[in-house]
Structure 1
Amino acid sequence: MDFSEKWGTSIDEAVRLALEDLKLTRDEVNVTVLEEPSRGFFGIGQKLAKVRVEKITVVKAPEPEEIKEKTAAKPASAERSAERTAPSGEKKTERPQRDRSERPERRDDRRPERGERSDRRERGRRDKDRERPQRSESKLALRVRPDDLQEMTEHPALTFLNEVSEKMGLVLEVKCYVNEENVFIDIEGKDSGTIIGKRGQTLDAIQYLTSLVVNKDSEKYIRVVIDAENYRAKRERTLEQLANRLADKVKRSGKSVRLEPMNPYERKVIHATLQGRPEVTTRSEGEEPYRRVIIERK
């Protein structure tokens, strides 16, 4: 790998992760800052830093070209050797012997590559199986709501969200629906776009904080889902369309595609969408919150 793009809470952190990925030191790379970090409001709406780290050293020629040059050079050297050691009349009989002797060596050169590809596929299948949702888990889990939900006018989630929106100066209408195992929050209003944030990052952050508040004194875990202007369903449809479009691209080009970092649920949407595509496979790499999906051709 000649470069690495990483996200981090700061530029230094992102550079450190990229250097670990490339196994290089700071003196051996060039660093380009793609996105500046931002702290946000009490951690809400926080933006991560993104950097691109590239090697300074000269990039080697692609491996197929090296193999081509070697195979082209071997017959020439062998031919010169044959001309020095054999009469001119024996040159034609030497050529078939040279071709046969070279073939096993070229096959040996390719075996490690096939083995490495097989190892990568096996690791990819293990990563995919760990993250792919089970059949019992609907890929529309965030959209499907239980039938026994009841609207609540007083609830810890409502209190927390109203306080947060007031401190942020947002005008929002918050409704809460509850049963024994779930809390669903619907947010509407002219400032809904602010509460959603870029690609739903602010909404995810608020959902996480609200879940901590709700489960603080609860004996069993209660699932909290916060939606604003039906954003979750729209985002899921967007991810499904993106997954299929990129799978078609991978199928045509044969080159793998790396998606941007996503939260666990969005990664599951990608995996579930492409689960029925026999020509491609998916896996995840990286550590949270920078874990991302890789789409590869089988």
Structure 2
Amino acid sequence: MEYITVSARTLDDAITEALVQLGVTSDQLDYQVIEKGSAGFLGIGMKQAVIKARRKEEVKKEEPEIEIPKADVSMAKETEKKEAKKEVPKKEHEKKDSPKREHGKKESPKKEPKKKAPVKEQHLTKAPEKKRGRAGKGRGLHDREACEKFVRDVLFAMDMTDVKVTSVVDEEGALSIDMEGSNMGILIGKRGQTLDSLQYLTNRVANKMQEGYVRVKLDTEDYRRRRKETLENLAKNIASKVKRSRRTVSLEPMNPYERRIIHSALQADPAVSTHSEGEEPYRRVVVTLVRNR
């Protein structure tokens, strides 16, 4: 597999982005550091980290060929010849002993077996597909087991073996996975970036090689609810600042989920408007004052 080039603000971010693009775990990633990157001084002279990455190739072990001794080969050939000689007279004997038909006598007609009634093929028809976003009983159980196993494997690779993983299908039909343990701040990461990356990979596992779509949500220590409340309060404070200063304010870069929270929080405020600018992963929300005509 050829290498792909990935760049990000830090080396850890570049490695995480490579894991997301290739859809692999850290133990299956082969990468080379091209540029470690630097923060610069007050943002001046900042260099992004650059790596080349690819999926590790699996090496197949070749089974050693078993050498057969010459003596065994000759014995096998002699055995085959003896068996062939035994089979010939047996066939001739069967020909001699086969009963001859008597002249003038008709053979009794053979009774044909009764034909079985054709089997109805109703059970072969496919069951109706579930709506998108809703996990069925059979498939949902398989999705839950696969996702929980993937999360546990990742946590094991991170030396977080004491984490308890539980899952439930919520009222929206999404598969909600919660993780409980010590030192979960490492799993959350800066502004939830590590948790979001693991959530993205788990969604890929849940929806790999199957029809429909299953939404997976990962959470720990009630981080999602606390982060939502923080963003809603931030949106209200920014709106007040824009009204006072009558100047446009740009927020820090956020992922699509967090940007939607900001838009939704200020949607009912007629004095300000919101829109997004920039490209991922540096796309941000801009809050503007609505001027009276």
- TM superposition score category, shorter chain reference: 0.5 to 0.7
CA distance in 1, matches of 2:173, 2:38: 36
Equivalent residue for 2:155?
Answer: 165
Structure 2: 5+ residue stretches without partners = 1-5, 20-35, 46-134
Residue deviations 1:37-63, cap 9 Å, x none? 122695289999767469xxxxxxxxx
With normalisation by structure 2, the TM-score equals 0.53
Equivalent residue for 2:187?
Answer: 195
- Give the secondary structure class of the aligned counterpart of 2:234: helix
Q: Which runs of 4 or more aligned residues in structure 1 lie more than 3 Å from their structure 2 counterparts after TM superposition?
A: 44-54, 150-154, 178-181
- Give the secondary structure class of the aligned counterpart of 1:241: helix
CA distance in 2, matches of 1:252, 1:153: 50
Q: Identify if the C-alpha distance between structure 1 residues 292 and 183 changes in structure 2 by more than 3 Å, giving closer, same or farther.
A: same
Whether the 8 Å CA contact 1:152–1:176 is kept in 2: the answer is no
Letter in 1 for 2:167: C
Q: Identify if the C-alpha distance between structure 1 residues 283 and 40 changes in structure 2 by more than 3 Å, giving closer, same or farther.
A: closer
With normalisation by structure 1, the TM-score equals 0.52
- Among 30, 39, 55, the alignment partner of 2:12 is 39
1:178 aligns with 2:169: yes
Q: Identify if the C-alpha distance between structure 1 residues 177 and 44 changes in structure 2 by more than 3 Å, giving closer, same or farther.
A: farther
Equivalent residue for 1:128?
Answer: none
Whether the 8 Å CA contact 1:152–1:177 is kept in 2: the answer is no
CA distance in 2, matches of 1:154, 1:201: 23
* Greater share of helix: 1
Displacement, 1:200?
0.5
Structure 1: 5+ residue stretches without partners = 1-7, 11-35, 55-145
Question: Size of the alignment, in residue pairs?
Answer: 174
Question: Share of identical aligned residues, percent?
Answer: 43
Whether the 8 Å CA contact 1:151–1:176 is kept in 2: the answer is no
Equivalent residue for 2:263?
Answer: 271
CA distance in 2, matches of 1:158, 1:227: 13
Q: Higher Cα Rg: structure 1 or 2?
A: 2
Displacement, 1:278?
1.0
Letter in 1 for 2:16: G
Greater RCO, CA 8 A, separation 6+: 1
Residue deviations 1:216-240, cap 9 Å, x none? 0221010010011110000000000
Equivalent residue for 2:23?
Answer: none
CA distance in 1, matches of 2:153, 2:37: 25
Q: Identify if the C-alpha distance between structure 1 residues 153 and 181 changes in structure 2 by more than 3 Å, giving closer, same or farther.
A: closer
Q: What are the equivalent positions in structure 2 for 1:43-54 lying under 5 Å apart? A: 43=16, 52=43
Letter in 2 for 1:209: L
Give the RMSD, CA atoms, in angstroms.
3.4
